[in-house]
Chain A
Amino acid sequence: MTLIPEFQAQRVFVEPWTTELGSHGLMALVTFLVGATCGLIGNFLILRRMALVGDAISHSVLPGIAVAFLITGSRGVGAMVLGAVVAAWVTHGLIEVISRHSRLKQDAAIGIAFSTLFALGVVLIAVFADKVDLDQDCVLNGELPMIPLEPAVRWGGWVLGPPPVLRLGVILMASIALVAAFYKELMLSSFDPGLARCLGVRVGMIHHGLMFWLSLTVVASFEAVGAILVIALLILPGATASLLTDRMWPRLVWSTVHAALSAVSGMHLAVALDCSPAGATVVAGAGWFVMAWLFSPTEGMIPRRWRRRSAAIDSRPRSSEFGQNA
């Protein structure tokens, strides 16, 4: 027995796009939709140094939806979103309370808050296992392989696709619309909250709005793809994009490109290794991040080292660069 399944190019590279398009292709589409949406928000989380807050909220969603399920008894999207948003608030409040009323700094507070809440969720699900139609495996890895089995939504004569795809598609569109509508407020309140407040921008509203949208995105995504993939996709696309360009719009575009590359290469990896598509997508996404880290023309380690070497050889003063450094 070999550890790694035998490599079959036909099965790995061709079939997902032909005979298996309805299953593997669809899975790649779902992970792309999640990656593009999370990447969009992730860019702003990274700017606001809140990357770990996204991580925390993704974890605390678990007890939130468990409690929402226990109270309402439904697995409807509304109840789950409400539970998750409340849980996100609780997480956020806990982080604030711990960091404000103790010696601990914010990073420690985040660590305490989300691990505790996540554990609470695991305990809740275990205790009420007979009542909760959720299991930890599904929470971590999602139901990606199950999505293609769901009956497609039909509208008139059109087959629109399984409900998760539609839901994620709508959320992605809404995210793009929201970023476009509040772009300047998001940028200003992230860059200089003081000036933003002075100019009448509701900095608190922007913050809470972002947190609300993050909770919503996390709930909608994690039901489909699991917590691991959501956490990773909140950071990886934005982080990769930040290594490729130092302007915001190109960053948003690059994070979407990263999401697409990760989704497709992750799907191929999952087929090749016959493993969890969520895990494979994260590995692939991390691979693209490392590529950007090493080879990015502006920030990459290798181009920089190479430039430094050629600069050492060619060390003539660049007068035009420093002429106006008054």
Chain B
Amino acid sequence: MNPEKPPAELGVPPLEIHDLTVAYRNKPVLWGVDLVAPAGQLIGIVGPNGAGKSTLIKACMGLLPCASGWVNAFGKPLSQSLGRVGYVPQRESVDWDFPVSVMDVVLMGRYGKIGLFKRPGAEDRRIARECLEQVQMLPFADRQISNLSGGQQQRVFLARALAQESDLYFMDEPFTGVDAATEAAIIALLQGLRSRGKTILVVHHDLPTARTYFDWLLLLNMRVVAFGPTDQVFTSELLQKTYGGRLTVLSEVAEAVGAKAR
């Protein structure tokens, strides 16, 4: 949206996580996560159920307390760089019967830039309309959100994230419960963002597509198993290490790795 704006300062990583440990009721779910995310990459976070993928994102956004460690965005603690960080929660995390229109939801993405006591202005509406256009949801702007299909809801969330005009995005399972057309539209959009220098971290649970969608992969199973460019990390050895001995997943992995070899 703002091509002239420099996406990230040279040398300062968009996201740096150091020794992050998160616990639910004294039970650790994430152990000593250490990573520096490269700028301008589409990064997939994959791992088995309960690996702590969503937890990692929520902890990064400051939505969960960290038992130890810290998270920096653009060289500053997250609380000081909130204006540059966008968040797409899981679609099921909100009440879709809420009495707002599609437009209202997208405008919520602008609230961080509007300030107290003010209402969204003409400029905010213009940006929101543009974002809706990008996800092909403009014709639905005045609809109440409960009248949308799952894929449409996800697009609205995406438009809201676009309206935030951030440089670093966290997305929690944006492909869950959406149809193939929406999935393709979303991935094209994310690639567009990436090519404008934005850094995007996406929680994803489908291994075969993970390999084609993402530039970098974070293999996670309570700890970081591997983090690097997809072609270096997407190996059967590392994936087995991530998923343990689960047969169904392993065959899926073998298939996916085999497809890569061909």
Contacts and interface: CB of A to CB of B under 8 A. Distances in A.
A246 B108 contact: no
Contacts of A201: 111-112
Interface stretch (A124-132, A141-149, A181-189): A181-189
A315 interface: no
B95 interface: yes
A311 interface: no
A226 B136 CA distance: 53
Contacts of B140: 324
Contacts of A47: 98-99
B87 A181 contact: no
A188 B111 contact: yes
B99 A326 contact: no
Nearest to B178: A326
Interface string A201-234: 1000000000000000000000000000000000
B119 A246 contact: no
- Determine chain A's interface SS by DSSP, over half rule: helix
Given A326-B151, A326-B181, A191 B98 contact: yes
Interface in B96-140: 97-101, 104-105, 108-109, 111-112, 114, 116-117, 119-120, 136, 139-140
A198 B86 CA distance: 8
Nearest to A241: B99
Bin the interface of chain B by size: 35 or more
Interface string B46-86: 00000000000010011100000000000000000011011
A191 B100 contact: yes
B94 interface: yes
Contacts of B151: 325-326
A314 interface: no
A247 B111 contact: no
B62 A197 contact: yes
A200 B146 contact: no
Contacts of A246: 97, 99, 144, 146
A194 B146 contact: no
B85 A198 contact: yes
Interface string A312-326: 000000000000111
A184 B108 CA distance: 8
B93 interface: yes
Contact of B100 (A187, A195, A197, A199): A187
Contacts of B114: 184
Interface of A: 47, 181, 183-185, 187-188, 190-192, 194-201, 242, 245-248, 251, 324-326
26 contacts: A47-B98, A47-B99, A183-B119, A184-B119, A187-B100, A187-B104, A191-B94, A191-B95, A191-B105, A191-B108, A192-B108, A194-B58, A194-B89, A195-B109, A197-B61, A197-B62, A198-B82, A198-B85, A198-B86, A198-B112, A246-B97, A246-B144, A248-B99, A248-B100, A324-B139, A324-B140
